[in-house]
Amino acid sequence: MVIFLVAPLVLGRYRLPGIVGIILVGAAIGPNGLYLLERDETIELLGEVGLIYLMFVAGLEINVNQFVEYRERSLLFGLASFLIPQVVATAVGVSVLGLELPSALLFAAIISSHTLLAYPVVNRLGIATNEAMTATIGGTIITDTFALLVLAVVVASVGGALEAAFWLQLAIGLTVFFVGIWLVVPRLGRWFFATVSEESYLEFLFVMAVLFGCAFLAELVGVEHIIGAFLAGLTLNRLIPETGPLMNRIEFVGNALFIPFFLLSVGMLVDVRVVLEGPATLVVAGSLLVTVVITKYAAAWLTGRVYDYDGDEVLAIFGLSVGQAAAALAIVQVGFDAGVPGFDGAMINGVVLMILVVSLFSPALVDRAGTAIATAREREAYDPSETPQRILVPVSPDSRYRESLLDLALTVRERRSEEPIHVTSVVRPEGLRHTEAAVARAEEFLEDLTTYASGAEVPIDAHTRVEHNVATGIVRSTVENRITTLVIGWDGAASRTQRVFGHVIDRVLTRTTKLTLVARVRRRLGTTERILLILPPAIQYNDGVAEALHTVKLVSEDTGAPVRGLVVDDGSADLEDVETLFDGVEPDVPGQFEAVDGWDGLESALRQQARPSDLLVCLSARRGDVGWHPELQTLPKRLSRLTDGNFVIAYPASEGQEDDRQFLQLQ
C-alpha cells in the first residue's frame, strides 16, 4: 500500500507516469532485487485479478457506438498489429535465433500480442473515447486472440494432437463462448439493474460476478481470461453510464487496488542479473525489442495513414500497443512447460528483460502523446470559461424518482465541467412551525441526493427556498445561479389547470428562456437500448436546437444507445437538413432518421416502434418560437399513454447562442 501511494507521487514530481514507479519498485524489492517481498501465490493471484480488471475497464470505457460504427478500424489495426509482428518475428526466429518453424511461430506470437500496460494513463487523461484509442483497445481482442490461438496450435502440434477433432473443438468452443456472452450478459444485466435497486453494493457485486464468470468461461473454452474480461466490459458497457456512481466505484477499486497489484507483479518478474548470464539472453531480448518496436510502430503508422490520424494519435497507438506483459509471459511459460524446442531459460529471461524495457517505455510515450491529444481536445471542444454549463434540478419531497432525475442531470452534464449541479426544493409557507418542519424535511432529502451524487464525484449545490409560488421559486433559482439547463421531473398526472404539463411546469416554461428538459424517468437510464428522437416540423431552424441535440447526444454517448429520429413531415420537412445538422453537432454518435406523415403518422410510428427500453425524446418549442405547433401542447400527455418507459420533452433555449463551439464540431 505504501508503494502504491508513494511511487506515483514521487514519479509525478519528475513528470513520469506513476505506473512506471510501481514497476520499478517491484523490480527493486522483489525476489530478484532486495528480496523484501516474495512473489508468492498472493501476489500472483492479485496480479492476475489486476490484469483481468484492467481489460474489463478498457472494455467498459470504449465508446460502443463509435466502436460499432468504426469496427473496421479496430479490425484493420488488430490484424496489422498481429500479422506484421507475426511474419517479421517468425523470420527473425528462423534466421537470427535458428529456431524451427513451429518454435519461430511461437516466438513471434510473444510480441504479436500486446497488453494494455499503459491503459491507466489513457484512463487518467480521459482519452479512452478518442477514435484512435478505441481502435487500439478494440484491436487488442483480435491480436491477443490470434496470438493465443497460435500458442494452442503450436503446443498441440508438439504433443502430436493437431487433428480435426482439435480444430472442431476449438472452433465450436470459441463460437459458443462469444455468441453466448454477447447474447446472455446484456439481457441478464438489463433484468438485474431494472429489478434490484435497494443497495448500491449489490450492483457492484453483480458486475464483479459477471466479470470473473466471463473470465472463467474464457479459460474453459481454451482462450486466456483477459479475452473474457474484455468481452464482459463490452457487453456491460451500455448498462453502466460513464458518469454514474457505479462506474466511479468500479474505476476507484481498480485504480486504487487491483491494477497496481498487476503492475507490481510485473515488476517483480524483472531480474537485471540476466544480462550477466551470457550472450544468449541478450540476443533473445535484443531480437524481441527491435522487432516489437519496429513492427508495432509499422502497424500504428499504417492505421494512421489509412484513417488520417495525426502524429500524436499514431504515437499513442504505438505506445499503447507496444506494451507487453501478460500474454507474452503466458506464451513463453506455456511453451517452456510444453517442451517446445528453443524455449529454454534464456528465452524466458529474454522475454522478462524485454518486458522491463517496454514497461518503462510504453507508459511514458502514451503519457506524452496522450497529453497532447487531451490538450487539443480541451482547446477545441469545450471552453468552460466562455459559456459554463450550469444545471438546476428542482425536486419535490414527494417525488419517487428524484434519484433517476439526478441521473439524467449527471448524464447531460459536460464531461469536463467543474460546475456543480444545483438542486433546489421550494417549500410553501404554512405557518412558522409547519414551514420550519417542511424546510428541515427538504434539507434531509437534499442531503441524501448530495450523498448519492458524491458516488459519481460530482459536486452538488443544494438549497431550499420558501415561496408561495413554486414556479416563482424555481425561476428565481434559475436567474440567481445563472442556470443554462433546467431538468424538471413530471409524473404524467393530469391537473385541473393543465395546459401542457400542469400549473407549475407550464409557468416555469413561459418565464424561462433556458434549455429545459421535462422528464418522466421511471427506469434506470443505463438500461436504455435506443433513443427515439422526435423532431416537429421546422424545429431544425430554432436557434437553440444545436444545444438541444448536443444534450441528446451526451445521453446517447453515456448510455451507448443509438439515436433513431422520427421527423414529422407536414409537407415541408427536409430530411437532409436534419441529418446534416445532427451530424454537425458534437459528440460523434450514430443517428438514423426517417420522415413520418404528419402527427397521425408519428403516433402510428410510435405505437409500432416504441419499446419500454427506449428513451423517447421530443424536441419541442415554446409558444412563439420557431418550431412551435399546437399539437405540441397535447403531445406529452399522449406520449405518457403510448409508453411505460422514460421520455423527455426538450425545450431549446429561446435566446440565440453566442458561442456554438460547445455544440458544433469544428471541421
pLDDT tens for 463-482 read: 888 888 888 889 899 888 88
Tell me the DSSP string of 425-479.
EEE---SHHHHHHHHHHHHHHHHHHHHHHHTTT--EEEEEEE-SSHHHHHHHHHH
Model confidence at 209: pLDDT above 90: yes
Q: What is the DSSP letter of 644?
A: S
Predicted structure pTM score:
0.71
Which of 338, 155, 141, 292 shows the shortest CA–CA distance to 228?
141
Question: 453 with 460: CB under 8 angstroms?
Answer: yes
Spatial strand order in the sheet of 646-651: 460-466, 421-427, 391-394, 485-489, 515-520, 646-651, 614-619, 530-535, 563-569, 591-597
Contact 653, 512 (CB under 8 A): no
Pick from 11, 165, 190: nearest CA to 611: 190
pLDDT tens sequence across 573-614:
678 888 888 888 888 888 888 888 888 888 888 888 888 888
Average pLDDT over residues 252-276: 80
> What are the phi and psi torsion angles at 424 (to 5°)?
-135, 150
Once rounded to an integer, what is the mean pLDDT over residues 126-152?
81
**Mean pLDDT of the 203-231 span:** 86
Q: What is the pLDDT of residue 290?
A: 92
* pLDDT per residue as tens digits for the range 324-356: 776 677 677 677 767 778 877 778 778 878 887
* Cα atoms in the 13 Å half-sphere on the side-chain side of 223: 28
- Tally DSSP H helices, then E strands, for the chain: 25, 10
- C-alpha to C-alpha distance for 504 and 501, rounded to whole angstroms: 8
pLDDT, averaged across the chain: 82
Alpha carbon distance 496, 274 (integer Å): 84
Q: How far is the C-alpha of 216 from the C-alpha of 226, rounded, in Å?
A: 10
CA distances from 313 to 128, 133, 356 (A): 12, 8, 24
Instruction: Identify whether the C-beta of residue 288 lies closer than 8 Å to the C-beta of residue 92.
Output: no
